[in-house]
Amino acid sequence: MRMEFDLKLQQTQKLIMTPELKQAIEILQLNSLELNALIEQELETNPVLEKEETSEEEDAYEYDLYELSKYIRETEERMYYDDSDDEEIEEVNYENFVSPKPSLSDHLLFQLHITPIPHKIKKICEYIIFSLSPSGYLREDIKDIAKILECSEEEVLEGLSIVQSFDPPGIAARNLQECLKLQLLAQDNYKGIIKELVDYHLEEIAEGKYSYLAKLYNISLKEVQQAVDFIKKLNPKPGSSFSSTADVGYIVPDVEVIKRDREYFVIVNDSITPKLKINNYYHSILNSNDEEAKKYINTKLQSAMWLIKSLESRKETLYKVVKAIVELQKDFLDRGINYLKPMTQKQVADIVGVHESTVSRAINGKYVATPRGLFEIKFFFQSGISNRNGNEISAESIKNLIKKLIEEEDPANPLSDQKIADILKEKNINISRRTVAKYREECNIPSTIKRRRY
């Protein structure tokens, strides 16, 4: 047996993920707030980096750009309110100076402090107030509270009863049933069929089993409907109206699209991101004889240069991607949701000249402010179907049509999913009953039986 050894030259391609490339990919995926946090961290760890102080002219330019986009949006909004007079405008402006609402705990503590009760019970009430969820429910067990406060369960229940007597009605309930019961007691309506439905049949109400309830209590469907309507007017989250403005989450758009003279302009929002530059002081160290210091500074310098380059690359990629989206979805921006087109990441990638994965990273978790409102950029990438005319319709447009059909239906005889599918078929939109049901559920629209009115 002979063994032969040959020497061959073979050419292969490999993608090596360097730390710099990995960082560039990570930066591309970050939204504005996450990017700002990363930059602040880099400024702390890399002495070569420093913030670039903007001149007054640059500040004025950025301010004018912001004011321009704000002015355009406000001008377009005013087109729908031409009849408003100066007095109405002033009245709206005064609302900006109204003091914010007190928090839920402040509102309840005020009532507690003017209620004459023993000191020990007052302390229990305070604990209960600070234990409430934002929606106003008590999630802690009575036994656990008694153990923590070293008191009896009866004393905790006494304190709970006092808090439950406060405004808003239904506060400090331990479940939905108790919440509704407290509100009905405050209105003196906890009686008759309403009492029975709240105590024993909330699940049947949720499932729309009105015929079953009518037979069970030997009353008409109309009486059941009236009782259910009354119950639905109660507030299932009595504490929600006291949510503090400090708890509100604000979305900072990463990109803004503004319209002027029938054209759309894309602006990448880097106003909250500090501009970076290299500190000139460290260049002098590179000319010194300290080899160790030179090596350290050189490493940090390369890292800083790559970060600055990655930030510019992110901005450029994000701009190109959103610009391509605007070109493809111009009908939506001009005419509304019914003109939103199906669109894939590959379509945008081909226009920009990058890979689909780059588009995916560029839009990840980012928002765009448009004349039509604020949207997550992913919103524009819609699946869809082709109608009989060969035109493509997005899933969002179909959902909007389903919503309109249901809004216009006869409440006594609501449209079934099959009937909606048939109506859409007449409009050259061929989708199945199952797809209609899927879209309806995604729009949080209840089923036919739950929409029926008697």
- Domain for residue 1, yes or no? no
Does 268 fall in a domain? Answer: yes
In a domain, 120, yes or no: yes
pLDDT at 72: 42
How far is residue 259's CA from residue 310's CA, in Å, rounded to a whole number? Answer: 29
- Give a yes or no: residue 8 inside a domain: no
Distance CA(315)–CA(159), nearest Å, equals 57
If asked whether residues 182 and 169 sit together in one domain, one would say no
User: For residue 318, is it within any domain?
Assistant: yes
Q: 45-61 as b/e, with b when 16 or more CB fall inside 10 Å?
A: ebebbbeeeeeeeeeee
CA 246 to chain centre: 16
Please say which residue of 355, 382, 409 terminates a domain: 382
Question: For position 300, what pLDDT does the model report?
Answer: 85
Of 174, 194, 223, which one is at a domain's C-terminal end? 174
Assess whether 225 and 286 both reside in one domain.
no
What pLDDT is recorded for position 366? Answer: 92
Q: Which two tokens stand for residue 397?
A: 């447009």
Domain assignment present for residue 82? The answer is no
Q: What is the pLDDT of residue 95?
A: 41
| Phi, psi (deg, nearest 5) at residue 277 | -150, 170
Clarify whether residues 319 and 437 are in a common domain. Answer: no
Instruction: Tell which of 213, 241, 269 closes a domain.
Output: 241
Whether 286 and 354 share a structural domain? yes
What is the model's pLDDT at position 69? Answer: 46
Same domain? 359 vs 302: yes
Question: pLDDT tens per residue, the chain (454 residues)?
Answer: 566 666 666 676 655 556 667 778 888 888 888 888 888 888 888 888 888 775 544 444 444 444 444 444 444 444 433 443 333 333 334 344 444 567 899 999 999 999 999 999 999 999 999 999 999 999 999 999 999 999 999 999 999 999 999 999 999 999 999 999 999 999 999 999 999 999 999 999 988 889 999 999 999 999 999 999 999 999 999 998 885 555 556 788 999 999 988 899 999 988 778 888 888 777 777 677 777 877 888 888 888 888 889 899 999 999 999 999 999 999 999 988 888 888 999 999 999 999 999 999 999 989 999 999 999 999 999 887 766 666 678 888 889 899 999 999 988 889 999 999 999 988 888 888 998 999 999 888 988 888 888 7
**Could you identify the residue written with the tokens 């309506």?**
189
Q: Which domain, by its residues, includes 432? A: 384-451
CATH number of the structural domain spanning residue 130: 1.10.10.1330
DSSP per-residue codes, 127-179: HHHHTB-TTSBB-S-HHHHHHHHTS-HHHHHHHHHHHHTSSSTTTTBSSHHHH
In total, how many domains does the chain have?
4
User: Which pLDDT score is estimated for 91?
Assistant: 38
Residue 128 lies in a domain: yes
Same domain, 333 and 413: no
Please report whether residue 296 resides in a domain.
yes
Q: Cβ contacts of residue 183 below 8 Å, gap of 6+?
A: 169, 170, 234, 235, 238
Q: Is residue 341 domain-shared with residue 263, that is, in the same domain?
A: yes
In this prediction, residue 430 carries a pLDDT of: 87
Q: How many CB atoms lie within 10 A of CB 115?
A: 14
- CATH number of the domain where residue 418 is located: 1.10.10.60
